[in-house]
Amino acid sequence: MGKTVEITVYGADQLCPSCVNLPSSKDTYEWLQAAISRKYGNDGIEYAYIDIFSPPNNKKNQEFAQRVVEEEFFYPVVLVDDEVAGEGNPKLKTIYQLLEQKGINQVE
């Protein structure tokens, strides 16, 4: 197996004010894991969920979480290897395209 691709979801327990009637950040995170693993399996993909109001103690996560809190993005924000793949209501098609560009292949 080649390089590992990391999918990171930045979100919060409370719903984004502009995201009424959309799933919560955690629900989106779990839905993405299920959808991606069905299509691509689990090899070569790692997942992380970052709460924007209590990010882990590292500069990269804290800085990006702060950008979301300051409303530069609608949450949940989905990153594929640090590239924004979607926000608010992320689209699977866009995430799939990024995964394939990064060498992740569909399972047979």
Question: 34 is in which domain, residue-wise?
Answer: 5-101
Could you tell me if residue 70 is inside a domain?
Answer: yes
Q: How far apart are CA 70 and CA 49, in angstroms?
A: 19
**108 falls within a domain:** no
Q: What secondary structure does DSSP assign to 19-53, as a single string?
A: -TTS--HHHHHHHHHHHHHHHH-STTEEEEEEETT
The answer to the question of residue 106 being in a domain is: no
Indicate whether 81 belongs to any domain: yes
CATH of the domain at 74: 3.40.30.30
Is-above-0.75 flag for pTM? yes
How many structural domains is the chain composed of? 1
Q: pLDDT per position in the chain (108 positions), as tens?
A: 468 999 999 999 877 666 667 788 999 999 999 999 999 998 899 999 999 999 999 999 999 999 999 988 989 999 999 999 999 889 999 999 999 999 999 887
Helical pair 25-40 and 92-101, crossing angle rounded to 10 deg: 50
Nearest to 49 by CA among 34, 38, 36, 65: 65
